[in-house]
Amino acid sequence: MSGFASFALRRAFWIVATLWIVFTLSFILMRLVPGGPFDEERKVPEEIKRNIEARYRLDQPMYVQYGEHLWRLIWHGDFGLSYKLGDYSVNGVIAEGFPVSASLGIFAMVFAITLGTTAGVVSAVRRHSFLDNSLMTTATLGIAVPNFVLASLAIVLFVFTLKLLPAAGWGSLKQLVLPAVCLGAPYAAYIARLTRTGMLEVLGRDFVRTAYAKGLSERRVIVRHALRGALVPVVSYLGPATAGILTGSLVLESIFALPGMGSHFIEAALQRDYTMAMGMVMVYTLLLLVMNTLVDLSYAVLDPRVSIEKL
């Protein structure tokens, strides 16, 4: 069996096992929380309440609900009906909200990687200069300021003062710029510092000094020889960054009124919509596991010393 096939099988096994554990823990914990999805409804006769519970199988023992939910998910990929959104299925809500959340996350990640890598390389090449100190000071501030605080300041500046961007909504690129920048800015700051550190380390190695001795231009040495090694710590950070962007989008989608999965997840948690919360948790978990797998694979591409058999 090839190294890649062995890696793929091992990782697929752990992804399935992790998803099952997350599903089980989420199912148990949500049902152990006091109250239920229909406790805050207006007072209804007991017969009607029993009919509602029977429709959603809440009158069955917990192990029966668990088995039915797990079976339906495994064989049909169906999370069931939402308890609070009438006849909407959880799959339908995810299908509508996922493109919004994915667009926000991709734009934020691209912005963070582009800005952070550029700033880190420039800072390392011009180390101890005014430009280096300015960029690293800005990066430190970017790490310290939470994205929801940055979002509030950005709305005041770009929406109410300069009137350049819309405050909320979905449907155009301009409505995505502000939330994506606010979501990606703290991670751009982390990436800038990691890139600077990695670049300084690589610039001191023998092969880089040899490239300079051969008369290669600084731009070619940086881009063709040093940058690849400097990006290894950045790639290591992309796993936690993905997790942070996924969780951070929950708050920013509410602030900017984006109809993504995050806003539905928050509402599901507040209203104890079991099936909706379970569906969102499973999707976020799967995304995180897949991204971590891609990050691990990228090690073998960036660093020849890393063998895929050892991942």
Would you say residue 81 lies in a domain?
no
Total number of domains in the chain: 2
Same domain for 179 and 233, yes or no, is yes
Would you say residue 192 lies in a domain?
yes
Same domain for 68 and 95, yes or no, is no
The answer to whether 162 and 105 are in contact (CB under 8 A) is no
* In the predicted structure, residue 283 carries a pLDDT above the cut 60: yes
Q: pLDDT value at position 152?
A: 87
Residue 306 phi/psi, 5-degree rounding, is -90, 125
Same domain for 33 and 121, yes or no, is no
Higher pLDDT residue, 110 or 39?
110
Would you say residue 84 lies in a domain?
no
* In the predicted structure, residue 203 carries a pLDDT above the cut 90: no
Q: What are the pLDDT digits (tens) for 99-125?
A: 888 888 889 999 999 999 999 999 988
For 18-44, what is the mean pLDDT? 77
For 130-151, what is the mean pLDDT? 88
User: Which residues form the domain of 168?
Assistant: 91-305
Of 226, 166, 220, 179, which Cα lies nearest the Cα of 198? Answer: 226
Same domain for 121 and 173, yes or no, is yes
The answer to whether 180 and 219 are in contact (CB under 8 A) is no
Would you say residue 311 lies in a domain?
no
Same domain for 150 and 247, yes or no, is yes
Would you say residue 288 lies in a domain?
yes
* In the predicted structure, residue 80 carries a pLDDT above the cut 90: no
Would you say residue 244 lies in a domain?
yes
Domain termination site, one of 46, 76, 106: 76
Same domain for 134 and 280, yes or no, is yes
By CB atoms closer than 10 A (0-12, 13-18, 19+), residue 298 is middle
Same domain for 56 and 202, yes or no, is no
Report CA dihedral (285, 275, 93, 284) to the nearest 10 degrees: -10
Q: With bands split at pLDDT 50, 70 and 90, how would you rate the model's confidence at 42?
A: low
Same domain for 8 and 115, yes or no, is no
The CATH number assigned to the domain holding 294 equals 1.10.3720.10
Would you say residue 246 lies in a domain?
yes
